Amino acid sequence: MPTVRYHRVDVFTEVPFSGNPLAVFPEGDGLDARTMQAIAREMNLSETVFCVRPSEREAAVRLRIFTVDRELPLAGHPTVGTLFVLAATGRIPLHGARTEVKVQLGAGVLPVAIHADQGTVKSVTMTQRTPAFGLAVRDREFVARALGVRPEQIGPGELPIRVVDVGVPWLLVPMIDLRALRNLQPDPTLCREVARIAGTDFFYVFTQETDDPGCAAHARHAWYGVGTPGEDPVTGSAAGCLASYLVLESVLLAAPTAELRIEQGAEVGRPGQITAIVDADGTRVRRVQVGGAAVHLGDGELWLS
C-alpha cells in the first residue's frame, strides 16, 4: 500500500497548539498536483506543503504550497515551518548559528536563513519578493460595510486601504483600535465585490493598538474567500506586506532598516508573533524579511490507496 509521511508543526510560536498549524510532506516527488490538492483538503489546514526536487540548480528544495482550494506561489508560515522541519530532522544540514539556503517557490528562488543554538533550530527567516504596491481602494464606506464596521473605524486619518504584493497580493485595511478589529463581521456577498475591485480575496486588517507593547501592530486575516477553512491564525506573507506598507506610509522609519513584530491569532485562540525586517531608502522598500520560531509536534503517514 503506497504511503506518504508528513510532519505537523506550529509556526510563529514557541508554545504547542498556538501559532499557525502546518502539515509538511518532505518527500513529495511522485505526487501529482491533483493528489497534492486532495491531501491538502484532507489535512484541512490553512496550508499544506510538499517538498520536491528543485528545477533551479541554486535551490536546495522546491516547495509546493496548497490551501484547501488552490496552490499558492508564496506563503510565509509554510516556508518558515517547512525549513524548520527540514533542518530539525537533518534533511538540511546546519552550519553553525546561521545556515543560509535558497528555496524554490512559485514566486521564484528566495533566500532563507535557519538560526540554531548548539545544533537546535530556534527560528527561520525568509526573504520575500520586493513588494509591489497597488493603488488605494478609495471607497472606505463600502469596505467598512463589507467588513461589518463603521466607516469611521477605518483609519486613523487618511491611512489608505491598499493592496500590497510580496508574492501573494493582500488588501490591507487599517483600523483605529483593537475593539474595531475584534468586532469584524464580514459580509460574504460584499467581500466578494471588494475582492473583485481589489483583485484579491485575501484581506488583512490591522491596528497599531496591540496586546503586547513590544509589537508594532495587531492583525487579523479578515476575509479568505470561500475555500479556506476558517480564519488563518498567523500569516507570514501578509505580515511582509504590512511591514512594507508601514514603511511606505511613513508610519515606521527604516533608517535604513526597521525591525518590528506583528501579533496575530488571539481572536481564534492561536496567538503568535511574526518578526519582520524591512530595508528601505526613505519610503522606498528594497527588501522585506519575515520569520519566527516554530514547534515540531510530531509525524505520521497517510495511506494513499
Cell of 138: 478609495
Rounded CA-CA distance 288/108 in Å is 15
Amino acid at 212: D
Q: Which of 27, 42, 47, 263 is catalytic?
A: 47
Question: Which 8-state DSSP code applies to residue 160?
Answer: P
Q: Which amino acid belongs to residue 22?
A: L
The backbone torsions φ and ψ at residue 246, rounded to the nearest 5 degrees and listed phi first, read -65, -30
**Beta bridge mates, 299:** 7
Q: Note if 193 is an active site residue.
A: no
Q: Which of 142, 198, 145 is nearest to 170 (CA)?
A: 198
Q: Hunting for cell 501592530 — which residue is that?
A: 217
Q: Where are the alpha helices (DSSP H) in 30-124?
A: 33-43, 76-88
> Rg of the Cα trace of the chain?
19
Closest of 125, 112, 103 to residue 55, by C-alpha: 103
Q: What are the grid coordinates assigned to 70, written together?
A: 488552490
What proportions of the chain, in percent to the nearest 5, are helix, strand and coil?
Answer: 20, 40, 35
Amino acid in position 64:
R
What's the first-to-final CA gap in the chain, in angstroms?
Answer: 6
Residues noted as catalytic: 47
